[in-house]
Amino acid sequence: MAEITVSMRAYCKLLLHAAKYPHCSVNGVLLAENSKSKDHRNLKFVDCIPLFHLSLGLSPMLEAALLQIDGYCKSAGYIIAGYYQANENYSDSELNCIARVVGKRISENCQDSCIFMIDNKRVSPESVSEVYRTYSLKDTSWREMEKRSTVDEETMETAATLLTSGAYTQLTDFDNHFDDLTNDWLNTPINDMIKRCT
């Protein structure tokens, strides 16, 4: 099983996406460093790309988004290695069909890929621990992984600061991008904001 770490940028953007649309399901992908070594068992998520908040299961939109993200990954030396999702129902943080299908697709290109299911109740500046449960693919089914910390204390503090400041209002996902192609799905302004917090 891979050791998983989540960078400040990846964690904060995932959290801000869930905070921006508390009334919707949201999803996105996590990018990891592309290691050529076969025995490399560490999965370091370095960035997060928010996908959708309107309809998570629209195949043509998902294909178009993943093609653009894949092109970016090739130029930056990353791979799509994780998927995150927050369900629409405030009390529901269970894996559903969409999470399983997208997660399976990602696992075809990264055998150590995982799914992060966000607990909506934890999306708050007061949250003192990670907002998700992590799942990995065992044989043909997704199983919850043993709880281990994937982010450090500084990341948690920065995430709380960004939530309190309302930074999530500036986050762009692919629904926003497809509405207006000038909307930056890489979220450069958010990346800069995170950098300034450190």
Q: Which domains does the chain have, with CATH numbers?
A: 3-197 (3.40.140.10)
pLDDT at res. 82: 97
Phi first, then psi, for residue 161 (nearest 5°) are: -60, -45
pLDDT at res. 37: 53
Across 20-34, b (16+ Cβ under 10 Å) vs e yields bbeebbbbbbbbbbe
Instruction: Name 141's bridge partners.
Output: 138
Are the beta carbons of 65 and 32 closer than 8 angstroms?
no
pLDDT at res. 127: 82
pLDDT at res. 41: 66
pLDDT at res. 94: 92
pLDDT at res. 175: 96
Q: Give me the count of residues in the chain.
A: 198
Residues 6+ apart with CB under 8 A from 104: 137
Please report the DSSP string for 80-117 in residue order.
Answer: EEEEEEE-SSTT-----HHHHHHHHHHHTT-TT-EEEE
pTM listed for this prediction: 0.93
Residue type (1 letter), 32: A
pLDDT at res. 44: 92
Nearest to 20 by CA among 121, 165, 169, 174: 169
pLDDT at res. 40: 52
Q: Mean pLDDT, consecutive 10-residue segments, the chain of 198 residues?
A: 88 96 96 71 91 87 94 96 95 92 92 94 88 91 91 94 95 96 96 90
Across 68-106, b (16+ Cβ under 10 Å) vs e yields ebeebbeeeebbbbbbbbbbeeeeebebeebbbebbeeb
